[in-house]
Amino acid sequence: MNENTGTLTINLAAIVANWRTVAAYADSSVTSAVVKADAYGMGVEQVAPALYRAGCRHFFFATLSEAVAGRSLVGADAQCYLLGCVPGGSEADVVRHRLVPVLSSLVAVNRWLAWRAGAGFDASSAPAAVKFDTGMTRSGLAVAELQHLLGDAERWAELSPVLLMSHLAVADEASNPQNRRQRDAFFALGTLAKRLQPDLLLSLANSCGTYLGRDYHADLVRPGAALYGFNPVVGGESPMLPVVRLSLPVMSLRALTQPSQVGYGAEYTALPGQVLAVVAGGYADGLHRILGREGYGYCLGVKVPVVGRISMDSTVFDVTAVTDLHEIDGRQTLNIDVLGEGDLSVDALTRRNQALGYEVLTCVRSGRYRRIYQGE
Ligand SMILES: *Cc1c(COP(=O)(O)O)cnc(C)c1O
């Protein structure tokens, strides 16, 4: 029991298989990959090249530094989009790294065009994408602003974006009528823009949006979550494979002989006869997000609950129900799994913890975990 950090096992083959599953479903569109936030915590250095080898040629990043780093991970023929803003003064870097900025406001469009003209670039030497807002009110040109831009033939020709996109706000609520409203608003202007510029790619759907049906696919779909094992089929069975497993090593076992308070705040009292396991891993490793309230894990296949509060670096589980404990000697590492398949899947944790599954996954980035990648 001497490993002092948890082990995060990431199945690259499953990520690739999930991408292929989406691509097969959206077979009349291009399937991109959203790899922002270090590929949702799974490690962009491994994930992006694996998806590139599988045939993915469109990658979405959030920040400039993510996109610059990501650019070198994939082949020169891949399109790398920067979803976040172009920081003032970094336009030349964006072009030098052959990134495609997603211009998400009229100010951003005007700034980009002014810079581009001044620096001697044009739509083909410094391509851009445009995002407009169809009902999320987070980022993107307003519908009226895009309409205005489309009405100015000269300005639109100067801009000539490679991609026109929008983002669904409630794709995870399949029956919410806002999805159809956003889709109709998207295609109303998208179709108009495509008439002006036939090579323009249109893109609306994230993971759940893709599984709302073919009429959401447009030219390019943008799955993120589904690639990392989330179920994109609202209310249906998941076509995705689980991607991640997190095992925490037991640092010490204690068989109690008298009543004992466990952890900060002494919120839990353990009784004689109970066996407690202290594992390496606490809220500094994102465990409060992963375990949530009334969390549990599995030890040698037996469900074991968390007792007491999660500490910064350690968490205590009640392993009384594990009958094989005596077979573990000091040289073996005993682990407790807290993320994996079945009721430890990101979907199950999302349901149980009412935390966004995205948070559950991205919080593993902060953890001090040893990472193991399973091959393609
Ligand atoms: C994050 C993001 C996605 C991916 O969303 P998922 O729900 O993870 O599939 C797609 N498009 C945009 C603009 C995003 O910001």
Average pLDDT estimate for 74-90: 96
131 is catalytic: no
Q: What's residue 331's pLDDT?
A: 65
Which atom of ligand 1 is closest in space to residue 165's alpha carbon? Answer: 13
Q: What's residue 328's pLDDT?
A: 63
Q: Is residue 191 within 8 Å of residue 204, measured between CB atoms?
A: no
Characterize the bridge pairing of strands 370-374 and 335-339. unpaired
Q: What's residue 325's pLDDT?
A: 79
Half-sphere exposure of 356 (CA within 13 A, CB side): 7
H or E element that contains 211: none
Which atom of ligand 1 is closest in space to residue 210's alpha carbon? Answer: 9
Q: Which of 35, 82, 83 to mutate to test the pocket of ligand 1 (most atoms within 8 A of CB)?
A: 83
Q: pLDDT band for position 327 (50/70/90)?
A: low
CA distance 277 to 134: 51
Which atom of ligand 1 is closest in space to residue 102's alpha carbon? Answer: 13
Which atom of ligand 1 is closest in space to residue 227's alpha carbon? Answer: 9
Percentage of the chain with pLDDT > 70? 97
Average pLDDT estimate for 150-171: 96
Q: What's residue 353's pLDDT?
A: 76
Residues with CB under 6 A from ligand 1: 34, 36, 83, 167, 206-207, 222-226
Taking residue 301's Cβ as centre, other Cβ atoms within 10 Å add up to 8
Check 40, 211, 228, 264 and give the catalytic one: 264
Cα 252 to ligand 1 centroid, rounded to whole Å: 41
Cα 206 to ligand 1 centroid, rounded to whole Å: 5
Q: pLDDT band for position 76 (50/70/90)?
A: very high
The pair phi, psi for residue 240, each rounded to 5°, is: -95, 150
Q: Where in the chain is the domain with CATH 2.40.37.10?
A: 244-374
The CATH class that applies to domain 32-228 reads alpha beta
Which tens digit of pLDDT belongs to each residue from 26-52?
A: 999 999 999 999 999 999 999 999 999
Characterize the bridge pairing of strands 244-255 and 7-11. antiparallel
**CA diameter of the chain:** 82
- What interhelical angle do 143-151 and 177-196 show, nearest 10? 10
Q: Is residue 164 within 8 Å of residue 203, measured between CB atoms?
A: yes
Cα 207 to ligand 1 centroid, rounded to whole Å: 7
CATH code, residues 244-374: 2.40.37.10
| Stretch among 16-20, 235-239, 288-292, 320-324 having the lowest mean pLDDT | 288-292
**How does the average pLDDT of the chain come out, rounded?**
93
Q: pLDDT band for position 164 (50/70/90)?
A: very high
Check 36, 216, 296, 373 and give the catalytic one: 36
Cα 279 to ligand 1 centroid, rounded to whole Å: 34
CA distance 290 to 304: 15
Q: Which of 222, 227, 243 to mutate to test the pocket of ligand 1 (most atoms within 8 A of CB)?
A: 222
Q: Where in the chain is the domain with CATH 3.20.20.10?
A: 32-228
Residue 1 has pLDDT above 50, yes or no: no
303 is catalytic: no
Residue 281 has pLDDT above 90, yes or no: yes
Cα 298 to ligand 1 centroid, rounded to whole Å: 31
